[in-house]
Amino acid sequence: MIYWIFLALAIVTEVIGTLSMKHASVSGDFTGMAVMYVMIATSYVLLAIAVKKVALGVAYALWEGIGILFITTFSVMWFGESLSPMKIGGLVLLITGIGLIKSGTKKATVRQSAQKVKQVAEHAVNVAKSGALARSEAKSEA
């Protein structure tokens, strides 16, 4: 769970960094560029932590996809950028793709958990059998 939080923070810092870059390019403000560098570097560090437990393809797709959604939304609201029907269609497809990626991740995680439980159970049975066998052999020798 904590790695998903790192991924969410990576997305937030990426959005802040990219929007700061746009603000700096429009206003000529050096502070915006400094914020951009810090936020984007922080975003990559957080993403690197997240991929320790979140599949790289999933993490990167969510990082970029959700980032694009927020950056586009804020660019329209704050910078007056246009949103054509083609862009809206692309964003709808992006949201659909994010949903498919995330739902596929849940199924894989459940499947992996079930396999892990099965392995642990099989190991426990084997340990119990070997313990019973050892006790049986010890009784035979006595």
Q: Indicate whether 132 and 78 sit together in one domain.
A: no
76 and 127 in a single domain? The answer is: no
Pair of tokens at residue 7: 């991924």
Residue 46, judged by CB atoms within 10 A of its CB (0-12, 13-18, 19+), counts as buried
Distance CA 105, CA 124 (A): 28
The total of other beta-carbon atoms located within 10 Å of residue 134's CB is 10
Q: Are residues 74 and 118 in the same domain?
A: no
Q: pLDDT (tens digit, 9 = 90+) per residue, 67-124?
A: 999 999 999 999 999 999 999 999 999 989 888 887 876 655 556 666 766 676 676 6
Residues 90 and 50 placed together within one structural domain of the fold? yes
pLDDT band, very low/low/confident/very high, at 40 (cuts 50, 70, 90): very high
> Are 26 and 75 contained in the same domain?
yes
pTM of the model as a whole: 0.70
142 has pLDDT over 70 = no
The token pair that represents 105 in the structure block: 């991740």
90 and 137 share a domain? no
14 with 26: CB under 8 angstroms?
no
How many other β-carbons are positioned within 10 Å of the β-carbon of residue 38? 14
Number of domains in the chain: 2
Pair 30, 81 in one domain: yes
Q: Report which DSSP code applies to 54.
A: S
Residue 70 and residue 137 in one domain: no
Backbone angles phi, psi at 54, to 5 degrees: -100, 135
